[in-house]
Structure 1
Amino acid sequence: DAKVTPIRPAEPAPAAPQAASPLRKQIVPAGQPLPPQPSAGEISPEALASVREVEKRARKITLMELTERTCKWPIGDPATDDFWFCGLPSQAGKPYCDAHVGVAFQPMSARRDRRR
């Protein structure tokens, strides 16, 4: 005589933690590496000062608020609620505002010279 073990129903999965706002969902899970960012040594002092000034008056928009006319420069840690995009008007044909274009699009020779 073989014993029959009754099958128990599966435990329900634990509920996923809710984000602080439906528009601010985690883009990169906590603990994952962030995309490479230019270091202060790779950015000219003028461009760095310009970026800091621009970020003080940035619109601080979410991913869902980005359009083809807004600066898409990410600011902060994507794994936190304190993450946003610049949102200022972007340069024609570029994804960023004037200040962020100055940081993102630098000639290779200028970048190599600063590393020395």
Structure 2
Amino acid sequence: MNNLLIASGVAATASALALPAYSNVYLNPEFNGANYGDSYLGGTLTIDVGYEGSSGAYSYYIQGGPALVMPNGTDNEVEFAGKFGGAIQASENVSVYGELSGITGDELSIGSKLGLKYSF
């Protein structure tokens, strides 16, 4: 499974580097770990390729790729993760943003985020 993640990461990196003319394409490797109290629960390493854009007050992105899920004390698994989201500039100092994400596994897990950003 680790070989699949490495191969997918190499392919994603090569794809992103082969498209330098597309400034809206990006590579986003990310590690997310979790603790509960003093206990380390595990983590997930994602290697996403994404696309972002904007028009006026609106911006958006979509990204996805392989995810190495590494729960503490059990076997690692390779899944697929992705997310998309965007933001609206509501005023000079305020933007509203949202995101919908998901990862495969025994069951599809979906997460969401909605927020407000105030710049001083």
Q: TM-score range by the shorter chain?
A: under 0.3
* Larger RCO of the pair (alpha carbons < 8 Å, separation 6+): 1
> Which is richer in helix?
1
> Which is richer in strand?
2
Question: Given the two structures, how large is their TM-score scaled by the length of structure 2?
Answer: 0.25
For the pair shown, which has the larger CA radius of gyration, 1 or 2? 1
Question: Given the two structures, how large is their TM-score scaled by the length of structure 1?
Answer: 0.25
